[in-house]
């Protein structure tokens, strides 16, 4: 058994828009290992969410996956039918969205929403009758307890709008975890929350990961969050991975000038969760990108050789960066 649970290779996802063809994800490789927390970091628009929406089979028109493979525990997800893919979502891989309020159904109580997920995916439930209903109720109460929501019996009868922002995030996590997925994709679980609640939600995810032994892919803008919660990190820029390695390696000695810029701008704790604008200039327009290093226009150490396409280079056993200054002597 390999220790890689999710293995993505050469993923390319494009959006056909009136302005042209937007290549949001361009040749991305991802490995999420069993039991680890992988951080995915990068500025807004770098392709983090689209990468994982592609993994989940949730890219909507005008977007489509143009190339690449997505393997989960050895199974090629791109070959599954929509019905088979629906079974994978929830049972094996769950995703929490950036905005809990829009992810939850306002017309159903929390108990009904948890129940729906359990009905669809929990194969351990009794087949029918009162025993089935009682088991669903028991598991729902247990899930709310797991995410730290007190008075679960009462809370199950309430609607999403009756909860605070932080509580809604917890409910979304409870629903995502209801069927004990092996991989949780947590997309910016914290941006809309105040600092204390952010920390609590991230602690909660780390704690549940340790208890359930699941893997987590944590999508964030914030390298401070990565430093605290992730084993490894992957840095994205303009639709590509530009650096990856263990958190200690990447944060301790970043190779790519973009990662260096991100680190230099780590917000002070009080400012966590704020958008970062660390480096002069902007992410390039993803339509008609020139065939050069995508960071060229913002890079303080650019040189002529960077005007040709730059591939990922190895900088150690598990360490890679997309910069010509990543020397072989690192390996
Ligand atoms: N529906 C769409 N139509 C056209 N382009 C899209 C669409 N959705 C995403 N994109 C393109 O994909 C790019 C990457 O988006 P993505 O949401 O993955 O970025 P991100 O790194 O997750 O940013 P954020 O942190 O703001 O969520 C966007 O800049 C945009 O150009």
Interface confidence, given as ipTM, is 0.96
CA–centroid distance, 237 to ligand 1, in Å, is 12
Looking at ligand 1, which residue's alpha carbon is closest to its atom 26?
44
For residue range 91-115, list pLDDT tens digits in order. Answer: 899 988 776 667 789 999 999 999 9
102 lines ligand 1 (CB under 6 A): no
- Place 322 in a pLDDT band, splitting at 50, 70 and 90: very high
CB 177 within 8 A of CB 96: no
For residue range 3-33, list pLDDT tens digits in order. Answer: 999 999 999 999 999 999 999 999 999 999 9
Average the pLDDT over each of 118-127, 232-241, 297-306 and give the range with the smallest value: 118-127
Summarize the confidence of residues 118-136 as an average pLDDT. 85
284 lines ligand 1 (CB under 6 A): no
24 lines ligand 1 (CB under 6 A): yes
* pLDDT at residue 180, as a whole number: 83
50 lines ligand 1 (CB under 6 A): yes
For residue range 155-212, list pLDDT tens digits in order. Answer: 999 999 999 888 888 898 888 888 789 999 998 765 556 667 777 778 888 888 888 8
| CATH level 3 topology of 4-92+181-330 | Rossmann fold (3.40.50)
| pLDDT higher than 70, residue 329 | no
Q: What is the full DSSP assignment across 162-179?
A: GS-HHHHHHHHHHHHHTT
169 lines ligand 1 (CB under 6 A): no
- Place 331 in a pLDDT band, splitting at 50, 70 and 90: very low
Instruction: Report DSSP state, residue 307.
Output: G
Q: What percent of the chain lies above the pLDDT cut of 90?
A: 56
- For the chain, the domains span 4-92+181-330
Q: Which of 72, 76, 114 has the alpha carbon at shortest distance from 93?
A: 72
Looking at ligand 1, which residue's alpha carbon is closest to its atom 25?
44
- Place 328 in a pLDDT band, splitting at 50, 70 and 90: very low
Cα–Cα distance measured from residue 169 to residue 122, given in angstroms and rounded to the nearest whole number:
22
Q: What integer best gives the mean pLDDT of the chain?
A: 88
Vertex 47 angle, CA 24 and 160, to 5°: 120
CA–centroid distance, 311 to ligand 1, in Å, is 23
232 lines ligand 1 (CB under 6 A): no
Summarize the confidence of residues 298-306 as an average pLDDT. 92
Average the pLDDT over each of 14-28, 119-133, 207-221, 226-240 and give the range with the smallest value: 119-133
CB 190 within 8 A of CB 244: no
* pLDDT at residue 212, as a whole number: 83
49 lines ligand 1 (CB under 6 A): yes
Q: Which of 137, 117, 126, 119 has the alpha carbon at shortest distance from 178?
A: 117
Q: Which atom of ligand 1 is nearest to the CA of 17?
A: 4
Summarize the confidence of residues 48-67 as an average pLDDT. 94
For the sheet with 240-246, list strands across it.
93-96, 183-187, 215-220, 37-41, 232-237, 240-246, 320-321, 313-314
Strand 183-187 and strand 4-17: the pairing is unpaired
CA–centroid distance, 170 to ligand 1, in Å, is 25
45 lines ligand 1 (CB under 6 A): yes
Give strand ranges (E) for the chain.
4-17, 20-33, 37-41, 63-72, 75-76, 93-96, 183-187, 215-220, 232-237, 240-246, 313-314, 320-321
């Amino acid at each position: 058994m390999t220790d890689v649970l999710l293995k993505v290779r050469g993923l390319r996802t494009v959006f056909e828009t009136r302005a042209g063809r937007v290549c949001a994800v361009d040749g991305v490789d991802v490995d999420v290992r069993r039991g680890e927390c992988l951080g995915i970091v990068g500025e807004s628009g770098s392709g983090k969410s689209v990468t994982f929406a592609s993994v989940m089979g949730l890219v909507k028109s005008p977007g489509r996956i143009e190339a690449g493979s997505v393997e989960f525990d050895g199974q090629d997800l791109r070959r599954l039918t929509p019905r088979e893919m629906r079974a994978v979502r929830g049972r094996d891989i769950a995703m929490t969205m950036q905005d809990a309020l829009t992810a939850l159904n306002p017309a159903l109580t929390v108990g009904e929403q948890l129940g729906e997920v359990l009905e669809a995916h929990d194969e351990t439930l009794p087949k029918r009758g009162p025993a089935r209903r009682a088991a669903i109720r028991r598991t729902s109460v247990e899930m709310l307890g797991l995410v730290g929501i007190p008075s679960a019996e009462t809370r199950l009868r309430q609607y999403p709008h009756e909860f605070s922002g932080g509580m809604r995030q917890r409910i979304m996590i409870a629903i995502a975890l209801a069927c004990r997925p092996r991989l949780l994709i947590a997309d910016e679980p914290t941006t809309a929350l105040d600092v204390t609640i952010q920390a609590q939600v991230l602690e909660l995810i780390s704690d549940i990961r340790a208890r359930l032994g699941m893997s987590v892919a944590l999508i964030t803008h914030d390298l401070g969050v990565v430093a605290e919660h992730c084993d490894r990190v992957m840095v994205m820029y303009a639709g590509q991975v530009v650096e990856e390695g263990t958190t200690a390696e990447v944060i301790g000695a970043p190779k790519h000038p973009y990662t260096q810029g991100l680190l230099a701008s780590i917000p002070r704790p009080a400012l966590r969760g704020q958008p970062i604008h660390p480096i002069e200039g902007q992410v390039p327009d993803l339509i008609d990108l020139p065939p050069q290093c995508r960071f060229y226009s913002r890079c303080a150490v650019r040189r002529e050789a960077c005007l040709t396409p730059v591939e990922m280079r190895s900088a150690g056993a598990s360490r890679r960066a997309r910069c010509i200054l990543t020397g072989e002597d690192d390996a």
